[in-house]
Structure 1
Amino acid sequence: MDGSVLALAGWEGLLAIIVTLGCIAFSWVILQELNFDKLVRNPRSARARLLQLLTAIALGHLVARFVLDYWTWTRAINWLFRSG
Protein backbone atom coordinates (compact mmCIF):
# COMPACT_ATOMS: atom_id res chain seq x y z
CA MET A 1 0.00 0.00 0.00
CA ASP A 2 1.02 3.55 -0.58
CA GLY A 3 2.32 5.43 2.45
CA SER A 4 -0.03 8.34 1.81
CA VAL A 5 -3.05 6.02 1.98
CA LEU A 6 -1.87 4.68 5.33
CA ALA A 7 -1.24 8.20 6.60
CA LEU A 8 -4.74 9.25 5.50
CA ALA A 9 -6.24 6.26 7.31
CA GLY A 10 -4.28 7.23 10.41
CA TRP A 11 -5.54 10.82 10.31
CA GLU A 12 -9.10 9.65 9.81
CA GLY A 13 -8.73 7.33 12.80
CA LEU A 14 -7.40 10.17 14.92
CA LEU A 15 -10.28 12.39 13.80
CA ALA A 16 -12.77 9.64 14.75
CA ILE A 17 -11.23 9.34 18.23
CA ILE A 18 -11.31 13.10 18.80
CA VAL A 19 -14.91 13.45 17.57
CA THR A 20 -16.07 10.49 19.66
CA LEU A 21 -14.41 11.71 22.85
CA GLY A 22 -15.74 15.22 22.23
CA CYS A 23 -19.28 13.90 21.78
CA ILE A 24 -18.99 11.79 24.94
CA ALA A 25 -17.79 14.83 26.91
CA PHE A 26 -20.62 16.92 25.45
CA SER A 27 -23.13 14.20 26.40
CA TRP A 28 -21.74 14.11 29.94
CA VAL A 29 -22.21 17.87 30.31
CA ILE A 30 -25.75 17.67 28.92
CA LEU A 31 -26.63 14.78 31.23
CA GLN A 32 -25.61 16.89 34.22
CA GLU A 33 -28.78 18.89 33.60
CA LEU A 34 -30.93 15.78 33.93
CA ASN A 35 -32.62 15.33 37.28
CA PHE A 36 -31.50 11.85 38.34
CA ASP A 37 -33.36 12.15 41.66
CA LYS A 38 -36.48 10.75 40.03
CA LEU A 39 -34.71 7.99 38.11
CA VAL A 40 -32.50 6.38 40.75
CA ARG A 41 -32.82 5.80 44.48
CA ASN A 42 -29.53 7.42 45.48
CA PRO A 43 -28.41 9.87 42.77
CA ARG A 44 -25.04 10.60 44.43
CA SER A 45 -23.98 6.95 44.70
CA ALA A 46 -21.21 5.37 42.69
CA ARG A 47 -23.73 3.21 40.85
CA ALA A 48 -25.76 6.23 39.78
CA ARG A 49 -22.61 7.98 38.55
CA LEU A 50 -21.61 4.84 36.66
CA LEU A 51 -25.06 4.74 35.05
CA GLN A 52 -24.65 8.39 34.10
CA LEU A 53 -21.20 7.70 32.63
CA LEU A 54 -22.41 4.71 30.62
CA THR A 55 -25.37 6.73 29.35
CA ALA A 56 -23.01 9.53 28.29
CA ILE A 57 -20.78 7.02 26.49
CA ALA A 58 -23.72 5.42 24.68
CA LEU A 59 -25.28 8.75 23.72
CA GLY A 60 -21.92 10.27 22.76
CA HIS A 61 -21.07 7.27 20.61
CA LEU A 62 -24.39 7.52 18.77
CA VAL A 63 -23.91 11.24 18.12
CA ALA A 64 -20.29 10.75 17.04
CA ARG A 65 -21.26 7.91 14.72
CA PHE A 66 -23.86 10.17 13.10
CA VAL A 67 -21.37 13.04 12.71
CA LEU A 68 -18.68 10.78 11.25
CA ASP A 69 -21.14 9.04 8.92
CA TYR A 70 -22.45 12.40 7.76
CA TRP A 71 -18.89 13.54 7.11
CA THR A 72 -18.24 10.40 5.04
CA TRP A 73 -21.48 10.79 3.10
CA THR A 74 -20.79 14.42 2.19
CA ARG A 75 -17.32 13.48 0.98
CA ALA A 76 -18.77 10.61 -1.07
CA ILE A 77 -21.32 12.90 -2.74
CA ASN A 78 -18.45 14.85 -4.30
CA TRP A 79 -17.78 11.87 -6.55
CA LEU A 80 -21.21 12.32 -8.16
CA PHE A 81 -20.28 15.72 -9.52
CA ARG A 82 -16.78 15.03 -10.75
CA SER A 83 -16.46 14.74 -14.46
CA GLY A 84 -14.22 11.93 -15.32
Structure 2
Amino acid sequence: MSRAVLEPLALFLTPFAVYAIYLVLRARWPLEVEHWTGVRVSILTVIGVAAAILGLVAVNLFAPRGQGAYVPAHRENGVLVPGRFE
Protein backbone atom coordinates (compact mmCIF):
# COMPACT_ATOMS: atom_id res chain seq x y z
CA MET A 1 0.00 0.00 0.00
CA SER A 2 2.80 2.40 0.84
CA ARG A 3 4.38 1.89 -2.58
CA ALA A 4 1.12 2.88 -4.26
CA VAL A 5 1.20 6.17 -2.34
CA LEU A 6 4.92 6.94 -2.21
CA GLU A 7 5.73 6.54 -5.92
CA PRO A 8 3.17 9.09 -7.21
CA LEU A 9 4.01 11.40 -4.29
CA ALA A 10 7.71 11.27 -5.20
CA LEU A 11 6.89 11.97 -8.84
CA PHE A 12 4.68 14.90 -7.82
CA LEU A 13 7.34 16.44 -5.53
CA THR A 14 10.20 16.05 -8.03
CA PRO A 15 9.57 19.36 -9.90
CA PHE A 16 9.59 21.26 -6.59
CA ALA A 17 12.88 19.66 -5.58
CA VAL A 18 14.42 20.38 -8.98
CA TYR A 19 13.35 24.03 -8.71
CA ALA A 20 14.81 24.29 -5.20
CA ILE A 21 18.11 22.81 -6.45
CA TYR A 22 18.05 25.30 -9.32
CA LEU A 23 17.68 28.14 -6.83
CA VAL A 24 20.58 26.83 -4.75
CA LEU A 25 22.80 26.56 -7.84
CA ARG A 26 21.91 30.16 -8.73
CA ALA A 27 23.13 31.16 -5.23
CA ARG A 28 19.65 32.11 -4.05
CA TRP A 29 18.05 31.05 -0.80
CA PRO A 30 15.23 28.64 -1.83
CA LEU A 31 13.11 29.27 1.28
CA GLU A 32 12.39 32.92 0.48
CA VAL A 33 8.76 33.55 -0.37
CA GLU A 34 9.61 35.76 -3.37
CA HIS A 35 10.90 32.72 -5.30
CA TRP A 36 7.66 30.80 -4.81
CA THR A 37 5.08 33.03 -6.49
CA GLY A 38 1.61 31.79 -7.35
CA VAL A 39 2.43 31.36 -11.03
CA ARG A 40 5.59 29.32 -10.36
CA VAL A 41 3.88 27.11 -7.81
CA SER A 42 0.95 26.58 -10.20
CA ILE A 43 3.28 25.57 -13.03
CA LEU A 44 5.22 23.23 -10.73
CA THR A 45 1.94 21.72 -9.52
CA VAL A 46 0.73 21.07 -13.07
CA ILE A 47 4.09 19.50 -13.98
CA GLY A 48 4.01 17.39 -10.80
CA VAL A 49 0.48 16.13 -11.44
CA ALA A 50 1.37 15.31 -15.04
CA ALA A 51 4.49 13.43 -13.91
CA ALA A 52 2.49 11.45 -11.33
CA ILE A 53 -0.19 10.53 -13.88
CA LEU A 54 2.35 9.56 -16.52
CA GLY A 55 4.24 7.50 -13.94
CA LEU A 56 1.10 5.61 -12.97
CA VAL A 57 0.26 4.98 -16.62
CA ALA A 58 3.82 3.81 -17.36
CA VAL A 59 3.81 1.42 -14.41
CA ASN A 60 0.48 0.01 -15.57
CA LEU A 61 1.63 -0.40 -19.17
CA PHE A 62 5.04 -1.93 -18.50
CA ALA A 63 4.31 -4.02 -15.39
CA PRO A 64 5.01 -7.73 -15.81
CA ARG A 65 1.85 -9.74 -16.22
CA GLY A 66 1.26 -13.22 -14.84
CA GLN A 67 1.26 -15.99 -17.38
CA GLY A 68 -1.73 -18.31 -17.21
CA ALA A 69 -4.30 -18.86 -14.48
CA TYR A 70 -3.55 -18.82 -10.75
CA VAL A 71 -4.21 -22.05 -8.88
CA PRO A 72 -4.58 -21.25 -5.16
CA ALA A 73 -2.98 -23.32 -2.41
CA HIS A 74 -4.85 -26.53 -1.72
CA ARG A 75 -4.49 -30.02 -0.21
CA GLU A 76 -3.79 -33.10 -2.31
CA ASN A 77 -3.71 -36.44 -0.51
CA GLY A 78 -3.20 -34.66 2.82
CA VAL A 79 -0.24 -32.59 1.55
CA LEU A 80 -0.41 -28.82 1.22
CA VAL A 81 0.37 -27.75 -2.35
CA PRO A 82 1.40 -24.08 -2.61
CA GLY A 83 -0.35 -21.70 -5.00
CA ARG A 84 1.12 -21.27 -8.48
CA PHE A 85 0.48 -20.04 -12.00
CA GLU A 86 -0.30 -22.63 -14.66
Question: Normalising by the residue count of structure 1, what TM-score does the alignment of the two structures yield?
Answer: 0.49
Higher strand proportion, which one?
Answer: 2
Larger Rg: 2
Higher helix proportion, which one?
Answer: 1
Question: Normalising by the residue count of structure 2, what TM-score does the alignment of the two structures yield?
Answer: 0.48
